[in-house]
Amino acid sequence: MTDEAEIGQPLAPRRASRRIWLGKVAVGGGAPISVQSMATADTRDRERCEDQLRQLQAAGADILRVAVPDMDAARNLGALQRAITLPLVADIHFDWRLALTAISQGVQGIRLNPGNIGGAAKVREVAKAAKDRGVPIRVGVNAGSLEKRLLAKHGGRATPEAMVESAKDEIRLLEDEDFTDIKVSLKASDVSTAVRAYRLAARAFDYPLHLGITEAGTLQGGSVKSAAGLGILLAEGIGDTIRVSLAADPIEEVRVGLSLLRALGLRRGGLTFVACPTCGRCEADMIPVAERVEKRLSSLRGEVHVAVMGCEVNGPGEGKAADVGIAYGHNGVGLLFKKGEIVARLPAAELEARLVEEAEKLAK
């Protein structure tokens, strides 16, 4: 249970973290929580990858990442960064040369664990190059790939404590090179492990935290895990940037991430959409209407609150907070309402089009 002061606020005060910059996007230190995603296109296929990055930018992502499996991929990074106005993060494992190439190509962030690139001399060179170009490094601890030494020390299991120890070790390697332009993730596919690891990390250091439940699963199952895990942490004031990781089109990762931030009042603008679950009182086939309306209005930039309700009895009342809404009634008619006031009684078949029209007008 939270203490008295926190009850009045849905979210605890945000954890104080340092601020870093990926290009023009601030992370930490009270900056708005940013939404990240990662391209699934092969980084070596420049055109496809550029296309996908542009789509993800259009969907509302704040920071984008690509895998850098080899030098052919690394050499595309400059073009990929120039294809978007958002910061591009290069995801690198094991090979320090890929990191140096990525930095010289002009990416605005690196994800790399200094512990696995081959020793202090290489870490020094990468840290120096990153520092010269103002490129932050994300240390990405993953419960599934913890060092054997740490697993052994923690009873063979990737415990939250082992994960935080791994993060501290990686951070130290960078700090030893006088590099502190760092953010940290501690991902696990299990919500409970991830939540505890981030809580411990939130107290262990003040670098900004990149939240994620890794390998969360499919669109639906993964969204539930991510929304629960990230929701719990964000409600505790923990987290500076998030990625919802899904086995789905990454556009969905962006949508779910933005929905989550909006649901928690951490992001303004765009569509707030409510729809009743329908019950025995509803005489219309309302669910497809709700799906279509949400889809058609989902790209609105202006702030608008829209409701689709299944009955006239509760509709306008329960949709009172909505700027505009519809409620299906009996015998093929229904209501259009604004802020709970009925403004028109219309044939049910016209409700959907009228609602979309009114919402678009309001969002302008």
Give residues 45-84 in contact with its own copies (rule: CB under 8 A).
Answer: 49, 66-69, 73
**At a CB cut-off of 8 Å and minimum separation 6, what does 23 contact?**
86, 87, 108
Q: Is 85 in contact with 57 (CB distance < 8 Å)?
A: yes
Stretch that binds its own copies, among 81-89, 122-130, 175-183, 317-325 (CB under 8 A): 317-325
> How many Å apart are CA 154 and CA 68, to the nearest integer?
31
Helix (H) or strand (E) holding 360: helix 348-363
- Residues present in the chain in total: 364
Copy the structure tokens of residue 106.
């002009």
Interaction of residue 124 with its own copies, rule CB under 8 A: no
Interaction of residue 199 with its own copies, rule CB under 8 A: yes
Of the candidate residues 20, 25, 35, 39, the single one contacting its own copies (CB under 8 A): 39
> How many Å apart are CA 151 and CA 163, to the nearest integer?
9
> DSSP for 252-299?
HHHHHHHHHHHHTTS--SSEEEEE----TT--S-HHHHHHHHHHHHTT
What does the per-residue mask of binding to its own copies show for 82-121, with x meaning CB under 8 A?
Answer: ---------x-x----------------------------
- Return the number of the residue (42 or 125) whose C-beta is nearest its own copies: 42
- Return the number of the residue (127 or 162) whose C-beta is nearest its own copies: 162
> How many Å apart are CA 77 and CA 74, to the nearest integer?
5
Q: Which ranges in 43-175 belong to alpha helices (H)?
A: 46-58, 71-75, 77-82, 96-105, 120-133, 148-153, 160-175
Interaction of residue 247 with its own copies, rule CB under 8 A: yes
What does the per-residue mask of binding to its own copies show for 133-152, with x meaning CB under 8 A?
Answer: ---------x-xx-------
CB of 134 to its own copies, least distance (A): 25
CB of 221 to its own copies, least distance (A): 5
Largest CA distance in the chain: 77
CB of 213 to its own copies, least distance (A): 8
Interaction of residue 38 with its own copies, rule CB under 8 A: yes
- Return the number of the residue (45 or 125) whose C-beta is nearest its own copies: 45
Of the candidate residues 256, 327, 336, 355, the single one contacting its own copies (CB under 8 A): 256
Binders of its own copies among residues 273 to 312 (CB under 8 A) are 273-282, 286-287, 290-291, 294, 307-309
What does the per-residue mask of binding to its own copies show for 3-22, with x meaning CB under 8 A?
Answer: ----xxxxxx--x-------
> How many Å apart are CA 352 and CA 345, to the nearest integer?
13
Interaction of residue 332 with its own copies, rule CB under 8 A: no
Q: Is 195 in contact with 232 (CB distance < 8 Å)?
A: yes
Of the candidate residues 321, 342, 349, 353, the single one contacting its own copies (CB under 8 A): 321
Q: Which of 218, 219, 221, 267 is nearest to 242 (CA)?
A: 267
**204-238 in b/e burial notation, b at 16+ Cβ within 10 A?**
ebebbbbbbbbbbbebeebbebbbebbebbbbbbb
Stretch that binds its own copies, among 39-47, 105-113, 116-124, 331-339 (CB under 8 A): 39-47
Stretch that binds its own copies, among 108-116, 132-140, 168-176, 210-218 (CB under 8 A): 210-218
- Return the number of the residue (53 or 126) whose C-beta is nearest its own copies: 53
